[in-house]
Structure 1
Amino acid sequence: MAKFPGLETFQGDIYSYKLDGNEYLHKSYQYAKSSYRDITDMNPKFVLYPKTKDGNEDDFDDIYKALEYAQKYNLKIAIRTGGHQYSGASSTDRKNLQLDLSNTYKKFEWIDIDKTKLEVGISYSLKEFVDKLTAEGRFLPSGQCEYVGLGGHVQTGGYGQLARGFGLLTDYVDEIRIISYDTTEQTYTSKWIKKGDELFRAVIGGSPGNFGVITHVRLTVLKDSDYSESYGLFAICAYDPNLLKEFLDIMLETETVNVDDFDYCITFSSDSGSDQGLDHGEEDDPSYDETYNREGYFRSDGKLIWPDMIIIHAYQYKGYNEATSPIKKIRDIIEKVKPAKRKIIIDIDKHYNVSLLVENWITLIRREFQLQYIKRGYVSDWEPKKLKDTNWSDWIVKRINLAICNKLKVSAQFKYFGGENSEFYKKGLENKDSLSWRDMNFGVSFDTFFEKDLLHLASEWQRENDKCISVTNPTFCDKDMRLLWASYDLNLDYFHDCYYDTEKKYADLCYLREKYDPKKIFIPNKFCVGVKNEVPEKVLKDILDKNSDKFDDLLKDVGCTPIWKRFERRNK
């Protein structure tokens, strides 16, 4: 593999856009690449994979070399642990560098005898991390996607199924090891930052990868043995509009949402298609995800298929009572479905360890469909009664039915987060991070995947969905509140009031970005705190100078017809 001036002593692998062809295309892959190719260039100049000497995770030489190279050549650095960011914000363009940490930091070490304090490297995929915890009878709340990297997941919150009962993954982060600018030494150094530090607050929920390179985190971990009365329901039903409405309506019932230790999530997924997992389209067809057509999408599972379906996850952790439990009500609805139209995987007929519930929450698939997609994520601070008044559940069912009839592929999720007694809300009151909208009650994600000839339909479908957020006639909420992990645009400054709940929070983060990244290394794209949409003075001057010269030339009659000749004719 070629060495490059300034990176000769870099220990890890380097992949070049110019030199490494197909291998580079694989290494630069991002989840968003096939969908956002026209919006942002996700083909960095180099993709760098740092290595440590003899597995010593205190060795950061390659990181420092990448930082020195970026400073010397005035380049930016994008940091990736999983590459699963939905709008491609963990990548950058051909002028800049991609630092891939997906295999660099794999430490997993218990700090205490009781195994409730853990130091872990950020290079684990979510499935790897959950599996290691489960093996020890331990768990933490976390997200669902198998290939999400722990580094990015920690910084954007770690939203998931257990959020109402336990809060977010980031609520259990005590310390972060980060390589960032030291204002005293005026250089980039490795340090541990603790919960409560200003840099800690900025890193968690501020702007992913925007304040330095995080390598390790220390966590407080939860024990299965402390929740000996946990119960769960995990079931899959063939899609039926009336059935989906019933499940959604339970989410809006007062007697359900007031149960403090109850978590409930509904997922809808469109029919995979009979040929899913086989050769599907040509590699140069931009409808499809090239990497996984080429390499085999479903690992060893062969032809993995599913119909239009509803997936139910409902958990209780400490107060299960069959007579009053919301899970029993959900189970009763499922039992009305014909046995051939349902599959119950985890049932409430016995206690299940919370770690097993978390493990079953992980979806063992990189992406639902090998197609381009348009993503949406909506949150609402409305109370359940208000959603009942707007007939929200009817609106959801109608939107999904329309997508099915228009041959769009949809992956949608609906979750109740809130209530003043929820851990999601209460842990947010500690104000130790920059995550916003901790007073939200409901979250919805709406992803539509589509064949290339259905782009117009998919766009119109999502634009109509956007109307559920409105100040005039809302169905779901009257203000636009977004989450960093579910972003569907790349202009953070323009939409910052959607991602941050106060203007002061955003201003403070912009200040901290300047303080801890004064050389502006960690701003590889526009989805970063502190990137202002300002006019570059030199660029503007060059454009205006050329315009002025053109005007002068036309006044001198250079053989072209100026537009004002048309105006002069009218006055004759």
Structure 2
Amino acid sequence: MATILGVAGKQFLPTSTDYSDWQYQYATSTHGVDHDMNPGLIVQPSNKDDIKKVIQYARATKKAIAIRSGGHQYSGASSTGKHNIQLDLRNTFQSPDDLVYFEKGDKSYVRASVSHSLGDFNKFMGQHKVFVPHGQCVEVHVGGHVQTGGYGQLGRSFGLFGDHVLSLEIIDYAGKEREITKAADPELFFAWLGGSPGNLGVLTHFTIEVHRDRDYVGSMGLRVVHLYNEKTLKALLQQLAEMNDNPDFPRNYDLCVSVLSASFDILGLMGGLDDKMREEHPEIFGKDGTPFWPRSIVVYAQWVPFSKHDKPDMSWFERLRGDSWFEAGVQTKPMSELTAEWVFRNTREFDLPYVKRTYLTRSTSLSKNGWVDWVVGRMNAIVEPAFNGQWLSAQLQCYGGKNSMFTRNAGNGTSYSWRDSTLCMTIDCFHKPEKQAEAEAWQAVNDKEGLGAHGFFSKEDRRVLWGSYGSFDLDSVWNTYYEDRPKYERLMKARRLADPEGTFTPNTFAVKRAEQKHVAERESSSASPCCIST
């Protein structure tokens, strides 16, 4: 493959000196062998004209385009193989005009480009004293994040990041600039937000409605670190399960519990507290200042008022504090400041290969069906043994109840799936390369015992695009990502209309396009398209 004439931005062939620096992504350590993540050409466009030239070249040469907005996708779905092109947008739209706050009447909005990381986006929002629900990984970029929902700490109280989208600015397969809105083009709006990220065209910008601090005065947040032990973990997960099981639980509360093996950098979760941690717990810092962190349980909890009559239940916070090892206390802060504290500031959990799982459930029996004891036992099998070559990173968050905006936003014109879910659980095993078989065996037990008719966690296998795992052929496992066949066929139809030539089908992790046999030769067995960042 050759570089593309007339493109002003940088281009990297596999023979280029810096190719490996731009080819690498989060999934390389795990899927570098089973998924081809070595694009024949990486293009970093300088502007929209460059993007149009890439699309024109791809169509003329029968290449496919994978799109990466700059973050990561756990299966390598923002990359492709040697016969195709990766469009890397991380630096394309970074001018002051690409991230703008504005007001109309009594509402506030932000127009953002896909090229901004969540860390930069959150900082910008804080400067304007506004906020919106979004995820927690600092290096995820908002282009893929918005297309896959944008799960995060404010899921119950405010819904998903993507729920706030008003319009999408795209460049389609013909190189035409278009604006997609729910009113003008409901089928494409539906498909872009949750359907087949990166496979419908090139998203460049989007506009969202945001919330203002001044409308939620009195919001509170708590960050707590507990030293790991089974008793503490069971108590915390029992509280989470009770919250999950109560359909009337107030919308005001959000709760997330993370469990981490030793050596994880806790300051990545407790950013801004470095000096305080060093002062209060010098025992974890070696003489060279390099910390060795203990096994930990990290709690993020939040309450937000929706009327002047709302009052927090402080006993709810107190149960979470317990006999904590370190905490910042319950703090009353503007929501834009609290959202900054939920951002996970490490690039990745552990610099190791992984076997990942993210499950959803709609169960409302977790506090009494044995799930708490079961999941603590499963975690303990990885966390407790010393130096076993495996490390746990788990995160559990409540999303459900009839008051939850995650639930109430179902049917809002997007295709984000499983909106009746009550809890999301990510439970990942990072491992030394020689421990892959053990890690996969541990996850296999989780799958067998956690899912199914007699499963502790969920009767159904419910997955999310941003936390994908298992089969890389989305069409073969569509029912784990989408609720029913009519919905999937609706998305297939939208894909066929948006990408009739297969220009944006660079691999198999994509909603199938009906009647796509004529473009089968373009599809590699690599990893899915898009900037599906988590």
TM-score by length of 1: 0.81
Aligned to 2:42: 47
Distance change (3 Å), C-alpha of 1:261 and 1:273 = closer
What percent identity do the matched residue pairs reach? Answer: 36
Aligned to 1:69: 57
Distance change (3 Å), C-alpha of 1:375 and 1:531 = farther
Distance change (3 Å), C-alpha of 1:216 and 1:324 = closer
Report how many residues are paired.
489
Aligned to 2:21: 26
In structure 2, what residue type is equivalent to 1:108?
L
Shift of 1:454: 1.1
Once the two structures are overlaid, the 10-residue window that deviates more, 225-234 or 302-311, is: 302-311
Mapped partners of 1:131, 1:536: distance in 2: 46
Which of 459, 467, 473 is the equivalent residue of 2:454? 473
Matched, 1:151 2:143: yes
Structure 1, unaligned runs of 5 or more: 53-59, 182-186, 278-300, 540-572
In structure 2, what residue type is equivalent to 1:502?
D
Mapped partners of 1:315, 1:308: distance in 2: 24
Shift of 1:351: 1.7
Question: Residues 165 and 422 of structure 1 are in contact (CA less than 8 Å); yes or no, is this contact kept in structure 2?
Answer: yes
Structure-to-structure mapping, 1:188-337, within 5 angstroms: 188-196=175-183, 197-253=186-242, 258-272=249-263, 303=290, 305-318=292-305, 325=312, 328-337=315-324
Report Cα offsets for 1:230-257 as digits up to 9, x if no partner: 1111111111111011001111226976
Which of 152, 163, 167 is the equivalent residue of 1:160? 152
Matched, 1:363 2:344: yes
Which of 383, 389, 409 is the equivalent residue of 2:368? 389
Question: Which secondary structure does the structure 2 equivalent of 1:498 belong to?
Answer: helix
Distance change (3 Å), C-alpha of 1:433 and 1:509 = same
Structure-to-structure mapping, 1:57-96, within 5 angstroms: 60-96=48-84
Question: Which secondary structure does the structure 1 equivalent of 2:258 belong to?
Answer: strand
Distance change (3 Å), C-alpha of 1:158 and 1:457 = same
Distance change (3 Å), C-alpha of 1:333 and 1:438 = closer
Which of 5, 10, 13 is the equivalent residue of 1:8? 5
Structure-to-structure mapping, 1:353-502, within 5 angstroms: 353-383=334-364, 386-404=365-383, 405=385, 406-430=388-412, 432-489=413-470, 490-502=472-484
Once the two structures are overlaid, the 10-residue window that deviates more, 496-505 or 328-337, is: 328-337
Aligned to 1:35: 30
Mapped partners of 2:321, 2:264: distance in 1: 25
Question: Residues 141 and 169 of structure 1 are in contact (CA less than 8 Å); yes or no, is this contact kept in structure 2?
Answer: yes
Structure 2, unaligned runs of 5 or more: 269-287, 522-534
Question: Residues 76 and 522 of structure 1 are in contact (CA less than 8 Å); yes or no, is this contact kept in structure 2?
Answer: yes
Mapped partners of 2:466, 2:225: distance in 1: 26
* Structure with higher RCO (Cα < 8 A, 6+ apart): 2
Distance change (3 Å), C-alpha of 1:304 and 1:207 = farther
Distance change (3 Å), C-alpha of 1:247 and 1:63 = same
Mapped partners of 2:423, 2:128: distance in 1: 32
Question: Residues 229 and 320 of structure 1 are in contact (CA less than 8 Å); yes or no, is this contact kept in structure 2?
Answer: no
Mapped partners of 2:260, 2:38: distance in 1: 31
Shift of 1:364: 0.8
Mapped partners of 1:226, 1:436: distance in 2: 30
Question: Residues 469 and 479 of structure 1 are in contact (CA less than 8 Å); yes or no, is this contact kept in structure 2?
Answer: no
Once the two structures are overlaid, the 10-residue window that deviates more, 144-153 or 420-429, is: 420-429
Question: Which secondary structure does the structure 2 equivalent of 1:112 belong to?
Answer: strand
Shift of 1:205: 0.1
Shift of 1:471: 3.1
Mapped partners of 1:171, 1:81: distance in 2: 20
Question: Residues 493 and 531 of structure 1 are in contact (CA less than 8 Å); yes or no, is this contact kept in structure 2?
Answer: no
Aligned to 2:326: 343
Question: Which secondary structure does the structure 1 equivalent of 2:491 belong to?
Answer: helix
Mapped partners of 1:353, 1:460: distance in 2: 45
Mapped partners of 2:93, 2:344: distance in 1: 23
Question: Which secondary structure does the structure 1 equivalent of 2:393 belong to?
Answer: strand
Report Cα offsets for 1:259-293 as digits up to 9, x if no partner: 2211000001111279x99xxxxxxxxxxxxxxxx
Question: Residues 394 and 425 of structure 2 are in contact (CA less than 8 Å); yes or no, is this contact kept in structure 1?
Answer: yes
Shift of 1:427: 1.2
CA-based RMSD of the aligned residues comes to 2.7
Which of 492, 503, 511 is the equivalent residue of 2:485? 503
Question: Which secondary structure does the structure 1 equivalent of 2:124 belong to?
Answer: helix
Shift of 1:469: 3.9
Mapped partners of 2:520, 2:38: distance in 1: 26
Distance change (3 Å), C-alpha of 1:535 and 1:188 = closer
Is the radius of gyration larger for structure 1 or structure 2? 1
